[in-house]
Each structure stands twice: as C-alpha cells, then as structure tokens.
A and B are shown apart, each in its own frame.
Chain A
Amino acid sequence: MRGLHRTYRTTVGTLRRRRLEVEAVRGIDLEIGRGELFGLLGPNGAGKTTTIRMLCTLLLPTSGTVRVLGLDAVTQAREVRRRIGYVFGGDRGLYDRLSAYDNLRYFAELYALDPRRMRARIGEVLESVGRAGREKERVEGFSRGMRQRLHLARGLLHDPPVLFFDEPTIGVDPVGAREVRQLISGLQERGKTVLLTTHYMFEADSLCQRIAVISRGRIVASGSPRDLKSAVSDRTVVEIEAYGIGEPALARMRQLPGVESVTVENKDQAQVVSVQSRDSVQLTGRLMELLQGVRVERIGTREPTLEDAYVALVTGG
C-alpha cells in the first residue's frame, strides 16, 4: 500500500500566514523524509500548532506551499486527509456523552473504513493504545491520560502513513506520557512518518531523529539532537543554587565577558541560575565575586544539554 507513493516529501516552503497583523509563521522551509520521526520544538506561540494545522489541511498558508506525500495540502486537501492522522493534546475534541467505542465508530465512518472490519479495527487500535476493556464507558468520566489515548486511537484508526502529533503528552502523568512516547516510537518502527511538536526536551531528545527549533515563526535551528547540542558544545554551563539573588546581580552576570545567557529557575525556595558561557575558567571566580553576601548552596559546571541548546536558541543567545 505504501508502494503507491514513490517519494515522500513534506515541503513547507516560505509560509506566510497573517492573522490580526500578527505573523504566526514567518517563512518556514522544512523537508521531512519518509519514515522519519521529526520533532518541532519551540516556546508557546512560536507557530508550532499553526504549522501543523497547515499540514493537516485545516489552515491555508497565506503564501508558500505545503506538500504531504507529494500532494498539495491546499489544492488536494481531500487526498491528503485520507493519508494523515492528526492527534492533538488536551482533553477536548471528544464527544463526552458518547462511549469511547462510539467516538471511534463515528470517525471510522468519516474515514470510510470497511464496514465489515470496523468493529475489529476499533478493537485493534484500542488495544494498541492500551485502552481495551473500557470502550463501552462514556468519555465524560475519563481521565486526561485516557482521553489522550483515545485521541491517539482516533489518529490511528485508518492506519495513515503520516501522523501529526501536537503536544501529545501535555497534561498526562509521567507514566502515561512514557507509554505515549513508546507508542509513537513504535509507529516509526512500523515505517510511519511522524511529525511531533512538544515543549519537552527529553521527549524530543529520546524520540526524534531530527529536530527543528522554531521561534517567533521562524526556524532557528535544525538537525539531529546531537547536532543541536554541538552548537553549544563549546560552551559550559555554570549552575548556581543559591538564595536571594536580586535582579541587579543577574543583570551584572549578563554583562560578564563570555556570558551567552543567564536563566533562573525557582526550585523550592532556592534559585537555580544557569549561566552559559564560552569561558568557564575565569567565570566561576567572577560569579563568586558578584555573589558576595548571597547564600550559595552549590556551584558547579556541567556539559550543555539539549535544553541548554534550546534555551540558547529561543532566547537568541
């Protein structure tokens, strides 16, 4: 069946989409290979969902072309729709008053599944998302994780060769999220092409062969997780756990020579300050000078992670 398509190309070329004079996506060029598991990373409002909705034929690009499996998502929308599955995160998008089975049944009809195989197929997809056994219950009583799996099942119903996941683990507990990730990587092993958006670095790091980081509607970097990390490999990260570092001190840290970015995270009552720089040898000493009079719990250096690379990219460091 997949032999029908010789090549798989997704080209999101120079998209320009205007809304309320805000350009959500400002010129994105991407090509995703067939059978690839591709990650789209970016902060909220970066244009991830907009991009994915254009690929799913739900949005028209203001300019540029979108092709899925060589088919134009604008002019051949119906053909594209047959071949894609779309799974989005969150707990909406299901009929609360229907059972899980009926929710899937409805979409089985809309996707024109073979009527004789419908029941069996719904059983299969429920099985594959680990939701068999509760299909007769109404969705209104389902937890977030169960709803998410039902979304997944719906995306898989017609066994599409291309799948789009828009933040599929958002709000799902860690165990459930891990199962969702296993499922996604299983899809790739079965030859599916997957595009995934996420906020979670480790998710992208562990799942995707290639990643694009998108920020303010533009792709700011792309490559394998290793490539992205190497972009910051010449840097070191000094991590300081301390109490009561004020804004002036942080501003002065940013001024230090060689410092690329300074980010603060609150952990319990303590602050964890990560300082990325190219010159760590003298940096620690200088930082300690700056932090005189502040209670420092711990200070150390470490290798940059994908998260550091991401932070550097989206903060423009």
Chain B
Amino acid sequence: MSALAATEAGSRGHFWRVFLIGGLISYRALFYWINPWQYVPTMLAAPLFQILFFVYLGRAAGVGSTAFFVVGNSIQICSMSGIYGMTMAISNERQFQTLSPILATPSNRLAVFLGRGLPVLITGFQTTCFGFLVSALILGFRPAPAELPMLLLTVLVTAGSCTGFGMALGSVGLRVRDVFLISNIAYFAVLLVCGVEVPLSQLPGAVRGLAQFLPLTHGIAAGRLLAAGRGGGAAVSDILLELLVGCCWAAFAYLLFRHFERSGRRTGAFDRL
C-alpha cells in the first residue's frame, strides 16, 4: 500500500473527489468545444440559429405558436451538450488511448463515469437558459413568471436525462468506431421524434411510442405546460417521467461501460481501442 494514498481508494471522500474534480478535469480534456472560439459558435450561435430557423419555418407554414417552437427548441438544444459532449467525454478516450491507464487505477468506476456527466449537464442547462433569454429578447417570448422556478427545474432535469442518454452513446463509442455518426443521427432525430418541431399527436403511433422512452419528450411537454402558465401540478408527472427516462439511460450506460471493461479484460479489446 502506498504511503501517499491518505484516503482509502474505496472511501466516500475519494468517491466525491473523483466525481467532482476528476470529472471536471476529464471534461476539460475531452470536450472539444470548451475553448471560447469553439464554444461561442457551436454551443451558443448554432443553437440560437436553430431556434430562429424553426420559429420562421412555423410562421411560413402558419402553424404552431412562437412559444411552441421556442420552448421545444430551447429545451432541445441542451442535448447539444448532452449528446455530443457526453459522447466526447467518454468515447474520446479511444482517440487519446487513455483508457488503459485509467482502468489500471484502483479508482471507483462509478465516480469516474458519472463525474463526467456533471459538467456536461451544467453546460446543457446554460445553453437552454441562453436560448430562453435570447428568445425573450428578440422573439417576444414571455413565459408565465409564476412558473419560472418550475421551468428551470424542468430544464435541469431534461439536461440531466440528455446527459444520461449521451452516456449511453459514449459507452457505445468505446466499442464502435463511428459513434459520432450515431450521435449525429440522434441529435437530429429527436427534433422529429420527441415533439420538438411537430406535435406528438401528428406522428404515427409507433413513433409516439418510441418517444416515450427518449429524453426530451416529457421535459418539453412539461416546459410547454409551464410556459403557458398551466400550473406546476400539471407538469409534475411529466417532469418525473423525464427524470426516470434519464436515470434509466444513465444506468444502462454504466452497465454497458462495466460490461465493456470486463469483456475487455477477457478478450483484449482494449488493445484495439
């Protein structure tokens, strides 16, 4: 046992340090778009243009309201961070070939894994808040003031469930070469499937069913209710469902990661990472 290790590697204190500090360091290491020159165009400008694009598209067809598209898109853009950011924060270990040294440490895997999610979640939350703010300034978006705290909670939960979903993609990326292809499809597919641009009622039954198991669907539904001032009570069940969906994806992601770690030890797949 090394004299330097004051905290027992399995202790609770170590868990939190790896979760918080380790998570932040690895986020800086692996999340491409962290520097301002990348962050501003990718995480702020592009999402903003997305909101404008769909608001105008709705106006062109004479469908929906500005609030419908603002809430849908503003919440959806948090998946920019959740889907792409989380895929990077796990899969890019492959690019740097840093997975072996990490797995050779005695650290708690759950802390290593989940720690990467927290900064991603916060980034996603920021993006959505930015979307709401700019929409309020230039598109005249006015959510019901009384429901603002609940709306922010909804955003937080949805950013979290997108992060959980992104974790699953990230884990898949440890094995699959072109995971960003999947992330890309996922990012655009949710626009159509999760009721972001088209009301769920307009979609075929199978797609509607699929949407129930994806992040965003319930969060956006809750967000629309709250923005319209329909009262917190109406949105609670949707918020809880969104939370559940997110937790399931995160749990699935972690199990997949552990499975890859175990099967990697058995088959030597790390060598090929």
Contact = CB atoms under 8 A, between A and B. Distances in A.
Interface of A: 1, 4, 17, 19, 24, 49-50, 53, 56-60, 78-79, 81-84, 86, 88, 92-98, 102-103, 105-107, 109-117, 121, 154, 157-161
Contacts of B26: 95, 106
B67 to A, nearest CB: 40
A161 B3 CA distance: 10
Contacts, number: 138
Contacts of B102: 110
A53 B2 CA distance: 21
Instruction: Identify whether the interface residues of B are mostly helix, strand, loop, or mixed.
Output: helix
Closest 10 CB pairs of A and B: A114-B6, A95-B29, A92-B97, A110-B107, A81-B106, A110-B105, A112-B9, A106-B25, A109-B22, A82-B106
Given A57-B265, A159-B3, A109 B21 contact: yes
Interface size class of chain B, counting residues whose CB lies under 8 Å from the partner chain: 35 or more
A159 B2 contact: yes
Instruction: Identify whether the interface residues of A are mostly helix, strand, loop, or mixed.
Output: mixed
Contacts of A161: 2
B265 A93 contact: no
Interface in B1-58: 1-11, 14, 17-18, 21-22, 25-26, 28-30
A111 B270 contact: no
B245 interface: no
A9 to B, nearest CB: 17
A107 B105 contact: yes
Contact of A58 (B96, B97, B265): B265
A106 B267 contact: no
B22 A117 contact: no
A115 B5 CA distance: 9
B18 A109 contact: yes
A82 B266 CA distance: 21
B101 interface: yes
Interface in B84-124: 96-98, 100-107, 112
Nearest to B10: A78
